[in-house]
């Protein structure tokens, strides 16, 4: 679904990504983890062509992403960004309906199929109960759910999410990840930057650890979220135990940098 080959990128002060390669396959829920500043958001934006890498190529369903028009990219993949701030007082339903934009002409009104998809996305995210409210009046957690609903309304085979559980209470964190996993069970591909390693271990099929501009580890959660990797790449001493629902990470204290 997405293949990144030898991706490098720099903002000028030094490389953020350095020869990174990655592949995302159909039906997978892949978690992206890494310390702050490791390049998770940058990678997400490069994968969908919002940023041009200094070197390397990203293929989106077999085609170089930089050779695709934005509308065509938006029909194949969507990105739920971490920043949910909106300056204009659109209603919740108007924001969710924006997910149908790639399929409609500039002045084409939504049809019955579009309306059905929008309504279903709002019902599944429980944003239908405040559909008429201006999105500027919502809490951060409520806005996060609105943007997830918008991504669901876009109805793409690939969904990228930058911290999808940010600003959500524990109940809605679980519900959001359950919805994402349900989408992958229907054949979609999800790639999510997740801060909570315990939740990543519970819901993700694979976990990719980003460190030093490269993929430091890639595999099943239990093989990536290890005490050694937490010490080496997060500078964190922790105990990791396997539970029935996933991994339990118990922080002990800061470790030694650059082990």
Enumerate the domain spans of the chain. 2-254
DSSP conformation class of 126? T
Q: For 32-41, what is the mean pLDDT?
A: 93
Fold entry, domain 2-254: Rossmann fold (3.40.50)
* Structure confidence by residue, pLDDT tens digits, 126-167: 999 999 999 999 888 888 889 999 999 999 999 999 998 887
The length of the chain, given as a count of residues: 259
* Tokens describing residue 192: 């999510």
Bridge-partner residues for 2, per DSSP? 24, 60
Residue 89 · residue 34 · CB < 8 Å:
no
Rounded CA separation 90/161 (Å): 22
Q: Which two tokens stand for residue 160?
A: 């990228």
For the chain, what is the mean pLDDT? Answer: 91
Q: Is 51 helix (H, G, I), strand (E, B) or coil?
A: coil
82-128 confidence digits (pLDDT tens):
776 777 889 999 999 999 999 987 778 889 999 999 999 999 889 99
Residue 204 predicted with pLDDT over 50: yes
Taking alpha carbons only, the member of 50, 59, 54 closest to residue 9 is 54
Tokens of 170: 């524990």
d(CA 207, CA 224): 7
Q: What is the mean pLDDT of residues 61-88?
A: 89
Looking at residue 256, what is its pLDDT?
67
Helix (H, G, I), strand (E, B) or coil at 77: strand
Cβ 169 vs Cβ 144: under 8 Å: no
pLDDT given at position 258: 46
3-class DSSP state for residue 234?
A: helix
- Asked if 31 and 205 count as a contact pair (C-beta separation under 8 A), the reply is no
Mean pLDDT of 199-208: 95
């Amino acid at each position: 679904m997405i293949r990144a080959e030898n991706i490098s990128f720099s903002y000028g002060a030094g490389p953020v990504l350095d020869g990174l390669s990655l592949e995302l396959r159909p039906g997978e829920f892949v978690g992206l983890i890494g310390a702050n500043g490791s390049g998770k958001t940058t990678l997400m934006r490069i994968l969908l062509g919002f940023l041009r890498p200094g070197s390397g190529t990203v293929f989106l369903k077999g085609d170089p992403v930089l050779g695709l028009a934005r509308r065509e990219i938006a029909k194949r993949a969507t990105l739920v960004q971490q920043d949910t701030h909106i300056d204009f007082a659109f209603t919740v339903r108007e924001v969710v309906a924006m997910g149908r934009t790639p399929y409609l002409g500039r002045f084409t009104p939504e049809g019955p199929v579009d309306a059905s998809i929008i309504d279903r996305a709002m019902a599944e995210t429980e944003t239908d109960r405040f559909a008429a409210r201006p999105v500027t009046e919502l809490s951060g957690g409520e806005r996060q759910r609105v943007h997830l609903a918008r991504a669901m309304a876009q109805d793409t085979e690939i969904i990228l999410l930058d911290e999808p559980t940010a600003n959500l209470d524990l109940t809605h964190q679980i519900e959001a990840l359950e919805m994402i996993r349900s989408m992958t069970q229907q054949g979609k591909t999800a790639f999510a930057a997740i801060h909570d390693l315990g939740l990543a271990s519970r819901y993700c099929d694979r976990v990719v650890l980003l460190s030093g501009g490269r993929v430091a580890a890639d595999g099943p959660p239990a093989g990536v979220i290890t005490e050694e990797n937490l010490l080496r790449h997060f500078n964190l001493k922790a105990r990791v135990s396997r539970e029935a629902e996933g991994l339990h990470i118990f922080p002990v204290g800061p470790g030694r940098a650059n082990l």
